[in-house]
Structures are given as C-alpha cells and as structure tokens.
Structure 1
C-alpha cells in the first residue's frame, strides 16, 4: 500500500469530470488560458498571485452567468487532486487565507481548492465592478479499486461578507449552475446572512490588515517618493480613492492603465485624474461651492510639474496611484465601515505632521469610543446630529452607521428604506471643521461612506456658524437634537466653549462629549455654570488614561447632557469609573494588533450605556465602587468628576479582625520568647 506522501494527484481526472458536467449543461465556461472578458482578465493579472509575486492568476475554469434579474455573477473554479485538499478553515470556521501575522497564507491558497478560488474571487472584488462572486473548489482521490471519490466546496464571496466567503451548501455535482437551477441557487445565496458577531470578527480582521497596508504604504511613499509633503500624501490618497470609486452606469473607475504618463498639456496623469474626480463629484450632486473647493485643493497637488514629470516612461503620480490602489483598493471596494475609515484617517493624521504644529491637539476618537458617544447621545434613525469640531468626521460616521442600522431594523418597506437612507445622509448630519487639510479628510470620509458629506462645513463653529444648513438649504435652521464632540483641548475652557454654543442652539435632545477631565474640575467653571443654568448633566464617565495611546495621554471624561432642561441641585448624576474598559492597549508601531479585548470590553461598553440610561438596576459587571449616583452644585462648576465615597466607618468585623491579628502576634511572640529561654537552659 502506498504511503500518503507518495499518493499521486488526480487533478486531471477531477478537471475532466467537472468540465464534463459544465459541458453537459451547455455553459460558456473558459479554461485556464482563455478569456472571459477584459475586466476579469485584467483583475486576475493585476492581483498578487498565489505565490505572492507578480504575474497572472489562473483559475482552472471560469464562467460569467446572469440570473433572472440580469445581474452578472462570475464563477471561479479551482481543482485539486488529493483527498484532504478541499478547504482549510481557521478556528472560527472562516477560510484561512491569512497567517497569524495577517499576511497572505500562500501555503493554504496554493494547496487547497476552495482557498485558491476565494483568493481569485478577492482579485475580482479588488479590481472589478463585480461585488458578488461564486468561488468553487473541487478535489478528489482514487480508492484501491481505482474508483474516483470527489468533494466540492461552494462559497459566496462578496462585499457583504467583506471578501471572507460564506459556504452556500452541500453539493455533489455542478448542476446548481445549470440554466434550469441557477436562479434558485442565487436566491439561496441571497438569503445568506452573517451574524453580527461574525461580521464584527471579520471587521476586526480587516482592521488589522488595513493597519499594515497603511504603514507599508506610508513607509514606501516616505522612503521612495521624494518631494511629497505630508499634505500632498493625504491629498494623493484622497484623490486616488475618489478617482477609482466610480458610479455604476455613470462614471467608470479610473484604472492604472488609463494613466499614460503623457507630457501633452491637458492629458498629463494629473489632468486625467482631476477630470475623473470632477465627473464623479458632479454625478454625486454636491453643491458647486463644495465641488470647486475639493477640485481646487486636490489640483494644488495633482497638477504640479514635479509629480507629472515622466522618468523611465512613468510619472511619479502614476507610480503612487498604483501603490495606493494595490494596497488599499480592496478595503473601500468592499464597503468601508467606521472601523476601516478610522484606521485610514488615524494613519493619515500621522502623515499630517501636526507634531510640529501648535495645533497638536488634533486627536482622533477611536471608533469604539465614537460608537459609545453616539449611543449615549441616544442617536436613532430620526435624529439630527451635529459635531462642532468634526476632525475626520469619525463621530458623524459612527452616528450615520447607528442611524442606518436603526432604519434597516425598523423599516419594512424597501422603497421607504432607500428614501430614509438618502435623507439621513443628505439632511440629518452636520459637521464643522476649521483646518482645511482635516476638512478634506472629513469630506472624503463621508464620500466613502456613501456620501453624507453634504453638510460638512469648513467653518469656525464658534465665530461664524449660525446654526443653518451650509448647502442646499442655507436659510433653514438645522434641527439638531443630538450633539457629539471631541473638541481641541487648547480651545477655551478645554473645549467647553463648543459645548455651550451647541447646546444653546438646540431645543431638545441629548449630548455626549469626550473632553479633558480638568474641564470638569476647575478649568471651565464659568462655562459649566452657564451650561447648567439651561441644561442637565446626566452622567460623568472617567475614561482610561491610555485611550488615545500614541497620540495623547491626557485624562479624559465623557459628560452626558439632557438639552434645554436646567440642572437642579437634587438631580441625580451618574458617576462611572470606566478606567477598566476591558481593553488592553499597546503602542507598538509594528504590532499586528494594538487593541485587545481582555476582559469583556464589548459588554462593558454596553453596560455603561445602560447604566446612564436606566440606572443601577443595570449594574452587572461593574461594582458599586465604580458606579455611584450623586449630586453636583449647579453653582459650583468644578465638581463634575466625583467617585464613589469610601466608607471610613469601622465595622465590628474590622475590630474583631484587628484584635484577632494582635492576639495572634502577642501569642506568637510569647511562644517564641519561651522557646529561646528553654534553649538557653
């Protein structure tokens, strides 16, 4: 009997069997070297190969099929010829195409049929307009009688599962692809849903990947691309992403091959990119003023002579554009969420070089803290949310996600849901940002999220903002009922000036702000007293000191307010010590994950929301040393950071223990002394 190591691959037999099925169903399948269409061919040749190098990816068979709704589905098939080489999953049951270090797992991609097919499917997600792909793996072996036994794995790889792939079902042949069965197969595919836990796990995985891609990209541009300042780098990333987003049926995404590195005026790579961006923005129906501002800002970088200068047949712009698309394309093609954009902009902030600047307090809120603020401000699908120091718009993105999720969960009519989503993005969010380079990031962030950028204003919120919509409805007051904020701490009262102005412009609702905690203990007394004369402080939450690790190490608190109801001295304030939030943070530049959930972090964040909303009946993980209901003096303004009082009154048990300890010591001493005396005799 042959040992396992000497077993021969029967891949040709497997391919013969499977391709025979495809032929019998009269399907237009293509083999390795054959072309399906230019877009798919190009994607497979542009994506990194199964060995990690350049060169083409070649699935064993590929088909492009249409369902009854005339939607196209690429089918990518990979064959193997060994008994146990169908699929390799990780501990969570996901296709294991990445290593523990979050690098491509070429061993698995090469050796297992399904893993190879899913790799090819990701090439299409990254480099084509197809968002739903079927990846099929098939392998088999011959038993001692020479009979072939085969197994098949069918996976759905799409934007909705972030390219990870989901198993569709069990199949013994390919007849689900036959014309008579394909529509019901696609109906089944469309019912596949990831649980929120699975989706969270995939998002965390993608977060780690985007971290590494950004560090790599940043280092590459810094070391190899001379003459680009920090702002240029940020604008190049913004421009490249906007140019490659495309709008189905209206604006084709800019491809690397579209940039010809021409020196002809009007046709240089920068000129072509600006034209594509103008086309994209005009179809997005952005207000003229905003569109011109974006184009003007990006042109300052894209149209410079140096970046368009051609050396060795290629401009610097084309080279950098290719790096950005190759490293980041997959993440925004599969639909970025807060987690991804937060990473993207945190890394970009590192590029902006604020450290030399007096404005060294531009610190982005981590996405999980942004989500906490949104929940504390009680945001839902009907909310009108504003932020007076919007930064990269991370807080507004978190609010938008919360609003869209609420809409999805509560609106049954698909038509009504679409209308509501448009309204949320166009009318229910407003952000103000003074720094123009940061403002550009905020606009890009909201464009990436499906365009809630309509009301991001490049305005001084303290001096110049009058509470009205900036574009579209400039004479209409924005009816804010939720306020979220992470202010620049160098501002007056550590940033409480923003809070006073915003709350006084609101008629109702709630506010949640994260701010240096000295603002609640003496640095902003006058602001605080004026705020309490009109609004109620509901909660004061002490945050971990390392929450902004690597950016800032100030102690922060979250303050939660009820708007337009003055604070009375008998109002209960909930004081929460949240310094143990369940996360362990590191600040290692090359670490694969600087944030680890080491003690029920997600549950702790939810409990804080519940405690602020409902009170001590929701106390579960936290102790009564960490949760305390107390009072503040509305005329004080420096008593917002309280902690649970320590009971110093001795109990009878304490007394008994002390006496017991003393007697034990006394007896021990006497016995020791007696022992020493006996020893001397």
Structure 2
C-alpha cells in the first residue's frame, strides 16, 4: 500500500497485492484488485487464500486436472447407480434421487455452523427419534435453516425428502445395519470427494445427467427431458448478455443447468468488476437470492434443480414448482412475493413436444418482460413452420437478432433432433428491414462420441473455445468480428415478420460465373477436345498399321 495527502489533507492511496513464491520463481503474480484490506478479515481470508492458490496453476494444468476428475466422476456415478439398482431392493426411481440429494446436503456442512454428517453418526438404531432417517432429517433441517431458505421452500424440501428417509423399510435393522446407512455409505464413499473439493469440475452436470437417467426420462417417446450440455448452457447465458446486474429466468428449468450457468457468469462478472471483498460478498448474496428465477413442473426434477443450485452456491430461493404457462404471475415465489421479478434475460431449452415445439414458453416469457435479451435452444422446425403463428406474435414486440444452426449430434445418445438457437432483443418490434445474423454452427469445433467406455466423449478437435467465443461476438457485433468462421457459415439477411416460418436461412450460393470460371471451362473443354483428337489419331494410326 502506498499513499499521500492531497492539498485538502485527504488521504489518497493505492493497494496492490502480489504473490511471490518459489513456485513462480520469485517473479510475483498479481492477485487481484482491492481497494481496502477487508480481504484479510477472518470471514474473507479463506476465499483470499483460495484465490492465491489458483494462481499457481496454468489453464493447461487445470484442464488436465479437470479431465482426470471427470473420468473419475463418470466411473463413480456408474458404479453407484449399478450398485444401488442391483443390490438395494425396494427403492424406486424417485427414492434413489432423493437419497443422493439427502446424503449430499447432509454431508456438505457449513463451516463453523453445521458439522458435516459422518457415516459413524448413523447408529442403525430402532429407537424412535434416533433412527438413521431421523438423524439425516435433523441434519438437513439444520443445513437449510442456516442457509436461510424461505420457510415454505425449506418445509417443501424436508417433506419431500422425509417421505423417503422416514419410511419403515429403509430404517429396519438387518445384520446390525439399516438399508439407509448402507446406501448413505455408498454415496459418501463414491461421490463425497467430488462435492467436497469445491465443485471446480463439472460434477453437478454429470451427477444430474446420471440421475435423470435414473428417473427413466431417456426412454420417454417424446424426448422431452434432455439436459443441455454445460458449455451450451454457458453459451446461452452469454448470448442473452447476462452480467452481474441481470435478472435471469428460465420457464422450463429442469435440473437448473441453465440457471447455474447464468449464475456463474453473473458471479464472474461481479468478481471482475468489484474490488472490495465486502461489497463483492453482498453482491454475490443478492445474485443468488434475488436475481435468478426458475420454474419446473415435475416435482422429482424440481428436487434436482433445488439440489443443483444448493451445490453450486445456493441460488435456489426462487426455483418454483409451478406450471410456467398457467400457474405463474411473473412475481417472486419467495421473499418479495408482492413484487414482479424484473427479468431482463431469458434462457430456455423447452420441452419440444409442447405447442410450437416449445415456442409457447418463449411467447409467455417475453410477454412478461419489458426489456433485455433472450437466447433459446429449440428444435429447428419451430423456425420453419411448426410455430408459425406463435412466431408472428412474438415478432410483434421482439426482434430476432440471430438464428444459429447447432451441430446435429449435440445431444448424442439422448436425442438426434436438429436444433437452432434463436436470440432476441426484447421489447422492440421486428422491422422487415432488420438485419438477422444467420450462422451455421454445425462445426462447433467439438467431436462427440457415444461410447460408454470412452475416456472422454467430448474432444476439442477444431478450436472449439475460439469458435464459441467468436460466435458470441458475431451475434453481438456482426461481420467485423469474422475471423475463424468462413463467409459460408455467416450470413446477414432479413426475414418477413409476418411470415413466422423463415427463421432458418443459410448463405445464398453465388451462381454467377466469374472470369476465372469461364477460363477454367474453356481450358477444360480444350483439354477434352485435344484428348479426343489424340484418341482419334491413335485409332487411325492403328488402322493404317494393319
């Protein structure tokens, strides 16, 4: 820290924090921007140390660690699923999901407030009030109490989990142990390390993909429940221009993957733009409590969303178990229940079996917004006729900014539908001369496989990071950001706002011949003529020779 007194006697100062160590060869790495010393306070010090520790790892090293962890997580989740399915009788699909949720909540703990539940804390007792289920429920209740969840939300979670945790069969003692303790032990042994290390890997995405499969939705003939890959969820958040001050909602939340991605973008922006740790902490709390809202109708999937948000930082306050089309009035579900949620960013992966492939969800949400941006991923037939009438109505008060054709194998192993991302500016009618950016993102730089024994089913084989970053820039700033993409992949055109079925366009093919085309044609023709003459000459020579 250095400073001085100005002419008025006011102290002017600057603070810079550097990390100097053998690991960085004494060069010194700048830790971050700070305008006071609150980062040294007890409540912020662990975060500061974590920030320092991250400096010693390069992106390449972090990528290697992440890839290693993901392989381990895949193996552990598969092992856990097979073990419970084959060896634990009497547990339905929902029971398995709720047991995992309960075990994780009970063993996360809150430093200095709620001690994590240990395997040894479950005594497999028959004593009423001290059964393993009773102990788990009390620990979960303590955790939720300290998280300051709204009363109705806390009661709903406890009621849902208790229906599984307090059943008689799961608490019966056989050979000195209850089924509940046995399953709890398996969950902690197989998964505990991953959700206790800070969730820096894509643990929750993999966990919820696995638990979705437990619920049996993957066999649903409608293919309605398909999780959005985490990198696509992040793309949607960026396309919707999410920042620390955004108010983001999702009308078909699923396991809250899109909201988690949006929350991460908001927290990153806050961290990059707020220098005071105290102010940053307050902003992070506001983001999680007030700036995210999700709606999910299916109760078992809703529980996954709650757990996901709790694991990723507890932005679950306004995850609502409601039908967004018929049972939602646009207001906060908890806390400020008399206030309208001031949404200015909308992200969505709707159920494609819904009206207009799910465009009815888009219309509903945009009609409740006054400004902002929206990014949705949807079956592309929604833009070529399946949702014609809905699309016309949407364009009466919203502008289509971009139509992005996504890779056909994006949801490989789950669904094979062709999808597009549509990006809107909210609150401005679409004019017929409005420029729309049509982008063919069929080649997103990733190679995907669906091999169960593959070490990694998603590989960056074509500068995927660069292509995703350029895609966001193209949508926002236009052709001047064209670098990696070819001109065949990027096209600026127009749509008829009264059509509703012309949203999927591609760059027109130029059929006008150039001088080079003419020269090549003439050259090819002359070569063909010469070849024929030579063949005829050879035949005549052969005839004369005979």
Normalised TM-score (structure 2)? 0.89
Displacement of 1:206 after TM fit? Answer: 2.2
Query: Which of 52, 69, 80 is the aligned partner of 1:191?
Result: 52
Contact 1:338 1:394 in 2 (8 A): no
CA distance in structure 1 between the aligned counterparts of 2:495 and 2:68, rounded to whole angstroms: 44
User: Which structure 2 residues correspond to residues 450-529 of structure 1 after superposition, within 5 A?
Assistant: 450-529=313-392
Contact 1:168 1:188 in 2 (8 A): no
Change (3 A) 1:577 1:279: same
CA distance in structure 2 between the aligned counterparts of 1:430 and 1:455, rounded to whole angstroms: 5
Q: Specify the alignment match of 2:12 in structure 1.
A: none
Q: Specify the alignment match of 1:438 in structure 2.
A: 301
Q: After TM superposition, what 4+ stretches of structure 1 lie above 6 angstroms from structure 2? A: 186-190
Displacement of 1:627 after TM fit? Answer: 0.1
Query: Which of 166, 181, 205 is the aligned partner of 2:68?
Result: 205
CA distance in structure 2 between the aligned counterparts of 1:356 and 1:553, rounded to whole angstroms: 13
Displacement of 1:674 after TM fit? Answer: 2.2
Displacement of 1:357 after TM fit? Answer: 4.2
Q: Specify the alignment match of 1:311 in structure 2.
A: 174
Change (3 A) 1:240 1:542: same
CA distance in structure 2 between the aligned counterparts of 1:354 and 1:601, rounded to whole angstroms: 30
Q: Specify the alignment match of 2:277 in structure 1.
A: 414
Aligned residues between the structures: 502
Query: Which of 572, 584, 587 is the aligned partner of 2:447?
Result: 584
CA distance in structure 1 between the aligned counterparts of 2:176 and 2:391, rounded to whole angstroms: 62
Q: Specify the alignment match of 1:269 in structure 2.
A: 132
Query: Which of 264, 274, 290 is the aligned partner of 2:153?
Result: 290
Query: Which of 356, 361, 376 is the aligned partner of 2:239?
Result: 376
For the pair 1:339 / 2:198, whether they are aligned, the reply is no
**Counterpart secondary structure, 2:202:** helix
**Counterpart secondary structure, 1:431:** strand
CA distance in structure 1 between the aligned counterparts of 2:92 and 2:355, rounded to whole angstroms: 31
Q: Deviations over 1:595-614 (max 9, x none)?
A: 00000001000000000000
Q: Specify the alignment match of 1:612 in structure 2.
A: 475
Displacement of 1:169 after TM fit? Answer: 6.7
For the pair 1:397 / 2:260, whether they are aligned, the reply is yes
Change (3 A) 1:508 1:170: closer
**Counterpart secondary structure, 1:453:** coil
**Counterpart secondary structure, 2:317:** helix
Displacement of 1:232 after TM fit? Answer: 1.2
Change (3 A) 1:667 1:357: closer
**Counterpart secondary structure, 2:106:** helix
Displacement of 1:215 after TM fit? Answer: 1.2
User: Which structure 2 residues correspond to residues 102-121 of structure 1 after superposition, within 5 A?
Assistant: none
Q: Specify the alignment match of 2:541 in structure 1.
A: 678
Q: Specify the alignment match of 1:59 in structure 2.
A: none
For the pair 1:426 / 2:260, whether they are aligned, the reply is no
Change (3 A) 1:580 1:190: closer
Q: Specify the alignment match of 1:545 in structure 2.
A: 408
Give the aligned CA root-mean-square deviation in angstroms: 1.9
CA distance in structure 1 between the aligned counterparts of 2:447 and 2:221, rounded to whole angstroms: 30
**Counterpart secondary structure, 2:293:** strand
Q: Specify the alignment match of 1:81 in structure 2.
A: none
Q: Specify the alignment match of 1:364 in structure 2.
A: 227
Displacement of 1:306 after TM fit? Answer: 2.2
Displacement of 1:673 after TM fit? Answer: 2.9
Contact 2:106 2:139 in 1 (8 A): yes
CA distance in structure 1 between the aligned counterparts of 2:227 and 2:100, rounded to whole angstroms: 18
Query: Which of 111, 115, 123 is the aligned partner of 1:260?
Result: 123
Displacement of 1:458 after TM fit? Answer: 0.2
Q: Deviations over 1:270-313 (max 9, x none)?
A: 11111111111111111121111111111121122222222222
Q: Deviations over 1:294-352 (max 9, x none)?
A: 11111121122222222222212111111111111111111225722111111111111
Displacement of 1:199 after TM fit? Answer: 3.4
Q: Specify the alignment match of 1:565 in structure 2.
A: 428
Contact 2:70 2:201 in 1 (8 A): no
CA distance in structure 1 between the aligned counterparts of 2:49 and 2:22, rounded to whole angstroms: 11
Contact 1:247 1:253 in 2 (8 A): yes
Q: Deviations over 1:88-131 (max 9, x none)?
A: xxxxxxxxxxxxxxxxxxxxxxxxxxxxxxxxxxxxxxxxxxxx
Contact 2:223 2:415 in 1 (8 A): no
CA distance in structure 1 between the aligned counterparts of 2:60 and 2:251, rounded to whole angstroms: 33
- Report which structure shows greater RCO (CA 8 Å, sep ≥6): 2
**Counterpart secondary structure, 1:650:** coil
Displacement of 1:619 after TM fit? Answer: 0.5
Displacement of 1:677 after TM fit? Answer: 3.3
User: Which structure 2 residues correspond to residues 150-299 of structure 1 after superposition, within 5 A?
Assistant: 168=23, 191-192=52-53, 193=55, 194-196=57-59, 198-299=61-162
**Counterpart secondary structure, 1:300:** helix
Change (3 A) 1:533 1:170: closer
Contact 1:337 1:449 in 2 (8 A): no
Q: Specify the alignment match of 1:643 in structure 2.
A: 506
User: Which structure 2 residues correspond to residues 4-43 of structure 1 after superposition, within 5 A?
Assistant: none
**Which runs of no fewer than 5 residues in structure 1 stay unpaired?**
1-165, 172-185
Query: Which of 518, 534, 539 is the aligned partner of 2:397?
Result: 534
Q: Specify the alignment match of 2:163 in structure 1.
A: 300
Displacement of 1:537 after TM fit? Answer: 0.3
Q: Specify the alignment match of 1:627 in structure 2.
A: 490
CA distance in structure 1 between the aligned counterparts of 2:95 and 2:390, rounded to whole angstroms: 39
User: Which sits farther off after the overlay, 455-464 or 335-344?
Assistant: 335-344
Change (3 A) 1:190 1:566: closer
Contact 2:218 2:225 in 1 (8 A): no
Contact 2:218 2:226 in 1 (8 A): no
CA distance in structure 1 between the aligned counterparts of 2:50 and 2:306, rounded to whole angstroms: 35
CA distance in structure 1 between the aligned counterparts of 2:400 and 2:366, rounded to whole angstroms: 12
For the pair 1:594 / 2:491, whether they are aligned, the reply is no
